[in-house]
Structure 1
Amino acid sequence: MPRALTDEQRDFVDAIGEFCRRECGTKQQRDALTDHGRHPHSRELYARMAELGWLGVSIPQDYGGAGRGMAELCLFLEETAYGRAPISGFATTIISAAAYEKFGSEPQKREVLSGVVRGRVEAISMSEPGAGSDVGALRCRAERRPGGWVVNGQKTWCSNAHIADHVLLVARTSGEGTKHEGLTQFMVPTGAEGLRISGIDTMGGREVNDLYFTDCFLPDDAVVGTVGAGWSQLVSGLNLERMILAALMLGTARRAFDDTVSYITQREQFGRPVGTFQALRHRIADMATELECARLLVDDVARTIDANPGVLFPREASMAKLKCTELAKHVALEGMQMMGGYGYATDYGMESLLRSTVVSTVYGGTSEIQRDIIGKSYGL
């Protein structure tokens, strides 16, 4: 089905596609950019995108960005994911940037938002060993001291902290009230004294980290927004986070689907291409239909968000995140099955697509949490 894009959006999508084919279109190119997949973020490629002005697609013009909306941001995320561009740092960067844009002081905005446009990476830290889906259970504390705050505790699963300029830290500043009260956001330079960043090895390469805070002093101007309002500030950004992950996985699912179709139209068994057998042909038809549904959902929710600035759409954003992440995992698994042994071979790339999709149903709110949010929106 033809996609309803403006001429400007179509040119944007075409330019991204051409760039990805030229700069990271082969496994050899991607291996060179990522040290054979060990580092899923290429500073080199990221810098080239910054020069083209793409990283500032949703950053306000006052800070050097293009000032575009959710629709253009989702297109950028989807197309770079489809093109397999190794820029894993962009997602956490744009999530963090949105928080600074909404709640940060002017100096914080100038430093972070203009840095995003220039190709700097940002990170956000919420999870702890005992607080994942239940953010209100976090225990990392920031205590008042003359002229600032002292942070002690551990955070975990912090994506891209090792390549970021700052970590947007969510810490407990008060034990009074409900568990969601007394949380505050802080802008923490990754080189701050008292902060140790330790990588966690995963099947997706070096991307996530443990953060250890030991008497880490932060000045008063490190507070982002209002002291004690960290939870409400987080909630206001959930639309963005879920849509970012939905768009990324939509692009990844499209890539897995196209790679599968390419393989089964060429691979022959029993005297004909394996894709002509009904068992595979019907599975391809089902996945193609589901991909079209997911694309329409993402496009529609993105346009709705752009048309209603300041309005939260938790049900719709959760639906998009749930649909696209689960679909991407399903398509990659089906791709491996249809490709047989070659699906496991690193030369063909399906195994790396599977690795990137499996975790997508966990981070940014698990599929179970998304279903719970959707269900509650119906009064259940």
Structure 2
Amino acid sequence: MTILKREIFSDYHDMYRETARKFFEQEVVPYHAQWEKDGVAPRSVWKKAGEMGLLCVNLPEEYGAAGADRLASAILIEEQARLGLSGPGFSTHSDIVAPYVLNHGTEEQKQRWLPKMVSGDLIGAIVLTEPGAGSDLRSIRTNIREDGDSYILNGQKTFITNGQCADLMVVATKSGDASGTKELTLVVVEATMPGFSRGQNFHKIGMKAQDTCELFFDNVRIPKENILGEVGKGFPLLSKELAWERLQIAIGAVATSAAALDWTIEYTRERKAFGTPVSDFQNTRFRLAEVKTEIEIAQVFIDRCIVEAEEERLDPAVAAMAKYWCTELMGRVVDQCLQLHGGYGYIWEYPIARAYADARVHRIYGGSNEIMRELVARTL
């Protein structure tokens, strides 16, 4: 709970937050530990989210969605992060993949895919990273070549969120033997296409309920109607969507930081040392005061960014600032809060332990924080 009132949300948003919170508490929390063992959230939870109107919420109503704004998307990200639920990759599906189709697809593509993404019948993944190409898209080697009325896709991708359960994948590829990012093409691969296969789940440090794996494309025949935008014009499409993607990471980072603070306040009030609650020691109070202050500062900045994203004027450099600074903040916060839990902070059953493990990757994915600093430095 922030001290400063968050004035960007309306009464509608408050009701929507309550709906989202109940969904996560009732449909995800009781099962998340098992999903961590399984390494994937089941398709059934996606269907339930679709039935509750919690997928692709800001798509237009004509595709079966709520037609809500990006503030509603931010609420979903916050509520999922607040409970430490790393499993269902809802934001990747709803706020990254669906907007690519909405903003850059043909009407036929939108009608074919978006209603099923809203209902949870199709699960989406964004497929960019390769074993030798992370933040540097120039190094992508996956390629397509024209073959009659279709294209042939070959390549390998890695670290793909929703990799095991995705039905619909927006894949970044080079066109033929072209080099350089200007020749990138975005293609939509459907999981039923011959030649497509998945590797096994990665055994990760954290985010254990999130299915993350490699994907393989072996002479996959892609109909020309599955090209997103134009051949060779994919890089501007990626650039346009990346700012919102990076802000989503920052939103979740601040929400996780706030949750970690709440868990730690509660724990230190109950835990005693030398007969005194840990919360009464000056060291504890001062450390938590520092954490609280930084979270308040971050939340004000993030709320301003959310408004600018909703108004389609979020500067990519500002999104980079938000992504790098808020994920660095999260790392400091969860580390400090774990310390105040003592030995129990290292036990997986405690949410602070899972948050500590889950937090680390946020400084890497969505563009590493080193790349974020470079993007900011270019504006100097």
Q: Name the TM tier (shorter chain).
A: over 0.9
| Residues 226, 312 of structure 1: alpha-carbon distance in 2 compared, 3 angstrom cutoff | farther
Aligned to 2:236: 232
Which one-letter code corresponds to 2:148 in the other structure? P
Which one-letter code corresponds to 2:129 in the other structure? S
Whether the 8 Å contact between 1:174 and 1:181 is mirrored in structure 2 is no
Whether 2:64 is the aligned partner of 1:64: answer yes
Normalising to structure 2: TM-score of the pair? Answer: 0.92
Which one-letter code corresponds to 1:90 in the other structure? F
Normalising to structure 1: TM-score of the pair? Answer: 0.92
Structure 2: gaps of 5 or more residues: none
SS in 1 for 2:68: coil
Aligned to 1:333: 335
State the Cα distance separating 1:86 from its structure 2 match.
5.2
Aligned to 1:3: 6
Which one-letter code corresponds to 2:10 in the other structure? T
Provide the C-alpha distance between the structure 2 equivalents of 1:129 and 1:338, rounded to a whole number of angstroms. Answer: 38
Among 239, 247, 250, the residue aligned to 1:243 = 247
Whether the 8 Å contact between 2:154 and 2:217 is mirrored in structure 1 is yes
State the Cα distance separating 1:18 from its structure 2 match.
3.3
Which one-letter code corresponds to 1:51 in the other structure? E
SS in 1 for 2:182: coil
| Residues 341, 49 of structure 1: alpha-carbon distance in 2 compared, 3 angstrom cutoff | same
Structure 1: gaps of 5 or more residues: none
SS in 2 for 1:57: coil
Provide the C-alpha distance between the structure 1 equivalents of 2:297 and 2:112, rounded to a whole number of angstroms. Answer: 39
Aligned to 2:77: 77
Provide the C-alpha distance between the structure 2 equivalents of 1:115 and 1:87, rounded to a whole number of angstroms. Answer: 21
| Residues 323, 65 of structure 1: alpha-carbon distance in 2 compared, 3 angstrom cutoff | same
Aligned to 1:370: 372
Aligned to 1:322: 324
* Cα distance per residue 1:92-129 (max 9 Å; x no partner): 21201111111112222123321221023200111111
| Residues 127, 232 of structure 1: alpha-carbon distance in 2 compared, 3 angstrom cutoff | same
Provide the C-alpha distance between the structure 2 equivalents of 1:13 and 1:336, rounded to a whole number of angstroms. Answer: 28
Aligned to 1:347: 349
Provide the C-alpha distance between the structure 1 equivalents of 2:23 and 2:354, rounded to a whole number of angstroms. Answer: 21
Aligned to 1:143: 145
| Residues 111, 87 of structure 1: alpha-carbon distance in 2 compared, 3 angstrom cutoff | farther
Provide the C-alpha distance between the structure 1 equivalents of 2:25 and 2:277, rounded to a whole number of angstroms. Answer: 27
State the Cα distance separating 1:186 from its structure 2 match.
0.4
Aligned to 1:190: 191
| Residues 256, 40 of structure 1: alpha-carbon distance in 2 compared, 3 angstrom cutoff | farther
Whether the 8 Å contact between 1:140 and 1:154 is mirrored in structure 2 is yes
SS in 2 for 1:360: helix
Whether the 8 Å contact between 2:43 and 2:165 is mirrored in structure 1 is no
| Residues 261, 24 of structure 1: alpha-carbon distance in 2 compared, 3 angstrom cutoff | farther
State the Cα distance separating 1:358 from its structure 2 match.
0.5
| Residues 63, 360 of structure 1: alpha-carbon distance in 2 compared, 3 angstrom cutoff | same
State the Cα distance separating 1:47 from its structure 2 match.
2.5
Whether the 8 Å contact between 1:319 and 1:374 is mirrored in structure 2 is yes
Which one-letter code corresponds to 2:130 in the other structure? E
SS in 2 for 1:243: helix
Provide the C-alpha distance between the structure 2 equivalents of 1:156 and 1:275, rounded to a whole number of angstroms. Answer: 44
SS in 2 for 1:162: coil
Which one-letter code corresponds to 1:64 in the other structure? G
Provide the C-alpha distance between the structure 2 equivalents of 1:48 and 1:84, rounded to a whole number of angstroms. Answer: 19
Which one-letter code corresponds to 2:171 in the other structure? L
* Cα distance per residue 1:10-42 (max 9 Å; x no partner): 1222232233334445xx54324x1x4443534
Provide the C-alpha distance between the structure 2 equivalents of 1:136 and 1:250, rounded to a whole number of angstroms. Answer: 31
Provide the C-alpha distance between the structure 1 equivalents of 2:304 and 2:259, rounded to a whole number of angstroms. Answer: 21
Provide the C-alpha distance between the structure 2 equivalents of 1:348 and 1:15, rounded to a whole number of angstroms. Answer: 25
Aligned to 2:157: 155
* Cα distance per residue 1:50-90 (max 9 Å; x no partner): 21212132111111112222222112211121133455321
**What is the CA RMSD across the aligned residues, in angstroms?**
1.8
Provide the C-alpha distance between the structure 2 equivalents of 1:326 and 1:88, rounded to a whole number of angstroms. Answer: 23
State the Cα distance separating 1:302 from its structure 2 match.
1.0
Ranges of 4+ aligned residues in structure 1 off by more than 6 Å: none
- Select between 148-157 and 359-368 the one with higher mean Cα deviation: 148-157
Which one-letter code corresponds to 1:74 in the other structure? A
Whether the 8 Å contact between 1:77 and 1:244 is mirrored in structure 2 is yes
| Residues 71, 53 of structure 1: alpha-carbon distance in 2 compared, 3 angstrom cutoff | same
| Residues 54, 332 of structure 1: alpha-carbon distance in 2 compared, 3 angstrom cutoff | same
Which one-letter code corresponds to 1:116 in the other structure? M
Aligned to 2:91: 91
Aligned to 1:293: 297
Whether the 8 Å contact between 1:56 and 1:64 is mirrored in structure 2 is no
Identical amino acids, percent of aligned pairs: 29
Provide the C-alpha distance between the structure 1 equivalents of 2:133 and 2:125, rounded to a whole number of angstroms. Answer: 18
Which one-letter code corresponds to 2:12 in the other structure? E
* Cα distance per residue 1:313-336 (max 9 Å; x no partner): 112211221222112222211121
Which one-letter code corresponds to 1:152 in the other structure? N
| Residues 38, 359 of structure 1: alpha-carbon distance in 2 compared, 3 angstrom cutoff | farther
Provide the C-alpha distance between the structure 2 equivalents of 1:225 and 1:24, rounded to a whole number of angstroms. Answer: 36
